[in-house]
Chains A and B, each alone.
Chain A
Amino acid sequence: MARAGSAGKAGESMADEPSTNGEKKGLAALVEEAREDAKVLKEKAKEEVETLKQPQKTQLYKSIFRVKHDDSERSRALGVLSNVFFHLHPAKINRDAVRYAYTWGMGGITFYLFLVLTLTGVLLMFYYHPTKGQAYRDIIYLMNDVPFGRLLRNMHRWAAHLMVIAVWLHMFRVFLTGSYKKPREFNWCVGVVLLVLTLLLSFTGYLLPDDQLGFWAVTVGTNMANATPILGAGGPFGMQLGLTNYNDVRFALLGGSIVDANALLRAYIWHCLAIPIIASVLMGLHFWRVRKDGGISGPAPVMLESEIKPERKI
């Protein structure tokens, strides 16, 4: 507002000038006029530079961040609550819950690794065709010719492995702290599904380089699907139900009876699209439920055996 006001004043004085200095004519007058204009501009610029010293008051800053950033309690809370990326956090948490010793940070690390994998994965998609023959060449090209291609592929691979480890340790911690107990039972179940999805994400990605390692790993894996009871041709009661290698559950997974071009495309779509979307939705649910179930489970005050309340029957 201050800027707009001063700019208005400057405009007025400019409009007044010709009438007060009406008798002066010619070159000298023009020079004088230009000098006056320059002076006004300089004043304006000075004022504007002053406002830059307080960037938080600019229209640009306010339009992006909505609230000011200072040391007050209110602003600290708003900084979290009014930010779409941060608002999964509560404004305040249990003072001991920030201790690394309690959570090991594994849930957050898992999520962060998912973000890293999404980013590196999208970049990898620029260089990859899910077609037999081309896929393997793409990886060779990626590793030898694409700038930072090798680093990109390595980061995607190792982040995936690290994510599996982080998920396991997260589950281990949640179990050890009894964090699945009431009211968090359902969120534990969502977590189990997310654990399975993490493994499936990693597994579907294994086939994509179309090398011997992925081919045989997926062959071994999908042969187990062939052995599914009732649904697989090689499993118990499969034959009796009329299943063959061309209509059973493995056929549905691979789009064929062996790991070939269709399997590569299917693995690609599951890996890059379907599972990440399902996992993202469930992650949203998982995080939302953490908040709704009362935030992070502890460290809670210890409960004594003598304090067990009698159970409530329905």
Chain B
Amino acid sequence: MDWHQLWEIVSAPDNVPIVALLFFVPFYAWYGFRQARENDRLIGQLEADPQLAKTHHRKIFPWKPGWTKEVHTWPYLMRIEFLAAIIVTVLLIVWSLTLNAPLEELANPNLTMNPAKAPWYFLGLQEMLVYFDPWIAGVVMPSLIIVGLMVIPYIDVNPLGAGYYTWKQRKFSIATFAFGFIVLWLVMVVIGTFIRGPGWMWFWPGQTWDPSKVVFEPNRDLPDIFHITSMLGKGIFGAVAMGIYTMAAWYGIHKLITATPFNRKIYARMSFIQYITMQTFLVLMLLLPIKILIRHLFRIKYIWITPWFNV
């Protein structure tokens, strides 16, 4: 156990935001889900008692008959904003007084940094480079993430859960988003920051970052396992394999979104275009964890090999 190495990584000034994220994200996830649980309990109560549903103010916050529904922005909101601004400023000044922004040697194209890392918020993308070619990891995936985020409001046809925390009413969408945000984005950022060392090799926390470490990782491609050697054969095999994956993933996702009566009710509200769009994005999104798994478990690099691109 190399504590010095661990401390060096954790305390690197530019890594502090990720250390902060390790606290912030679980805290806010808990904070949100706690309110979701309370709301779900209230929803359960109201569903069981229609009479109560007619009179209840339907929030988990206290309410009394005489109270006004609205309050003045000045001072009730603006004092909070002012307070938040002060707290952030104080935090920022203390942080800036105690930790210096890093400055390395003068840029030198002849001396490659090892590891050469992108800024921490892009390390998820850099980590994807391990599993995909640069054009997928660096261009297609980011574009898909951006467009995928933008289509969310147009494919989420569930009218429930607008404006309050809930889990019960939006299980599928929340689970999907949490998986994408926390597992596929934040965990990848954490891996890229804390785990990846020189040569972008895997070093467990506490393991010394040895620049001369050589790992024998026999990278195979899926066609190799089936002893396909011709280029044409690899191309056709890959297309078939991707087709099978797409169908399997499509079927699995379909089963999931029609699993419960409630899910089926929401599914029935979906238009054909909405359904196709959602399936396309989810199938592509699932490709990432699948490739991560087959890479780490079976050391398989590519599924589909063509003269122009590899997947």
Identify the A interface with B (CB < 8 A): 73, 76-77, 79-80, 86, 89-102, 104-105, 108-109, 112-113, 116, 136, 139-140, 143, 150-151, 153-159, 161-162, 164-165, 168-169, 171-173, 175-182, 184-185, 188-189, 192, 195-196, 199, 202-203, 206, 209-217, 219-221, 223-229, 232, 234-237, 240, 258-259, 297-306, 308-309, 311
CA distance A7 to B46 in the complex (A): 71
Assess A223 versus B100: contact at CB under 8 Å? Given A229-B139, A299-B164. Answer: no
Bound state CA distance, A164 and B157, in angstroms?
A: 29
- Mostly, the A contact residues are helix
The answer, yes or no, to whether B118 is at the interface (CB within 8 Å) is: yes
Complex interface residues of chain B between 159 and 192 (CB less than 8 A to chain A): 159-166, 169-170, 174, 177, 181
Stretch at the interface among B91-99, B204-212, B237-245, B297-305: B91-99
In the complex, which residues 120-158 of chain B have their Cβ closer than 8 Å to any Cβ of chain A?
120-122, 125-126, 133-135, 137-140, 146, 149-150, 152-154, 156-157
In the complex, which of the residues B47, B96, B161, B169 contacts A155, with contact meaning CB atoms closer than 8 Å? B96
B85, B120, B164, B181: which contacts A177 (Cβ < 8 A)? B164
A166 vs chain B, min Cβ distance (A): 9
How far is A105 from B83 in the complex, measured between Cα atoms in Å? 11
Q: Are A299 and B163 in contact (CB under 8 A)?
A: yes
On whether the beta carbons of B103 and A143 are closer than 8 Å, the reply is: yes
Query: Are A299 and B109 in contact, CB atoms less than 8 angstroms apart?
Result: no
Contact among B39, B116, B135, B309 for A219, CB-based, below 8 A = B116
Contact assessment for B81 and A224 in the assembled complex, using a CB-CB cutoff below 8 Å: no
Complex contact B146–A192 (CB within 8 A): yes
Beyond A211-B104, A302-B43, A305-B169, is A116–B89 a contact (Cβ under 8 Å)?
yes
Please tell me if the beta carbons of B119 and A297 are within 8 angstroms of each other in the complex. Answer: no
The smallest beta-carbon distance between A179 and chain B, in angstroms, is 6
What chain A residues lie within 8 Å of B106 (beta carbons)?
Answer: 136, 210-212
A86 touches B31 (CB 8 A): no
Q: Is there a chain A Cβ closer than 8 Å to B42's Cβ?
A: yes
Rounded to whole Å, the gap between the CB of B53 and the closest CB of chain A is 6
Query: A301 and B150: CB pair below 8 A?
Result: no
Known contacts: A112-B88, A221-B122. The answer to whether A181 contacts B159 by CB under 8 A is yes
> Is the C-beta of B20 less than 8 angstroms from some C-beta in chain A?
yes
Q: A225 to B84, Cβ gap below 8 A?
A: no
Contact across chains for A161 and B135 when beta carbons are under 8 A apart: no
Q: Is the CB of A80 within 8 A of B73?
A: yes
In Å, the complex CA distance between A299 and B25 comes to 21
What are 20 residue pairs bridging A and B, where the CB atoms are less than 8 Å apart in the complex?
Answer: A76-B74, A95-B69, A95-B70, A98-B76, A104-B28, A104-B31, A105-B84, A109-B88, A156-B101, A161-B17, A169-B28, A173-B28, A188-B149, A188-B150, A211-B105, A221-B122, A227-B134, A228-B135, A299-B60, A304-B53
Taking residues whose C-beta sits less than 8 angstroms from the other chain, chain B's interface range is 35 or more
Contact A217 B135 (CB under 8 A): no
The answer on a CB contact under 8 Å between B139 and A227 is yes
Chain B residues whose CB sits within 8 angstroms of the CB of A105 once the complex forms: 80-81, 84
List of B residues within 8 angstroms of A161 by Cβ: 14, 16-17, 120
Bound-complex Cα distance A206 to B107 (A)? 12
A215–B111 Cα gap in the complex (Å)?
11
Do B163 and A228 touch across chains, with their CB atoms under 8 A apart?
A: no
- Cα–Cα distance between A92 and B103 once the two chains are bound (Å): 47
The answer to whether B24 and A188 have CB atoms under 8 Å apart is no
Q: What per-residue 1/0 map shows which CB atoms of B31-75 lie under 8 Å from chain A?
A: 110011001001100110000010001111100000111111111
8 Å CB contact of B101 from A90, A101, A158: A158
Which residues of chain A have C-beta atoms less than 8 A from B230's C-beta? none
Closest Cβ of chain B: how far from A200's Cβ, in Å? 10
- Cβ B119 vs Cβ A217 within 8 A: yes
Q: Which residues of B contact A217 (CB under 8 A)?
A: 116-119, 122
Given A154-B96, A189-B150, decide whether A89 and B73 contact each other with a Cβ distance below 8 A: yes
Residues of chain A within 8 A of B119, CB atoms compared: 202-203, 206, 217
Q: A298-B164, A303-B160 are in contact. Are A73 and B140 (CB under 8 A)?
A: no
B78 touches A151 (CB 8 A): no
A189 to B302, CA, bound (A): 34
Taking each of A159, A180, A215, which has the highest tally of chain B beta carbons within 10 Å of its own beta carbon? A215
Question: Given the interface contacts A90-B73, A169-B28, does A113 sit within 8 Å of B59 by beta carbon?
Answer: no
By a CB distance below 8 angstroms, the chain B residues around A154 are 95-97, 99-101
Contact B103 A98 (CB under 8 A): no
A132 and B259 CA atoms in complex are apart in Å by 60
Task: Decide: A212 and B81 in contact? CB cutoff 8 A.
Answer: no
Cβ–Cβ contact A178 & B17, under 8 A: no
B109 (CB) vs chain A CBs: closest residue: A258
10 tightest A-B contacts by CB?
A224-B138, A300-B163, A298-B163, A301-B58, A185-B153, A215-B107, A154-B96, A227-B134, A157-B101, A216-B116
Is B1 interfacial (CB 8 A cutoff)?
no
> Contacts A109-B84, A229-B139 known; A165 to B20 CB distance under 8 Å?
yes
A98 to B73, CA, bound (A): 9
Which residues of chain A are within 8 angstroms of B170 by Cβ–Cβ distance? 178
| Least distance between B138 CB and chain A CB atoms (Å) | 3
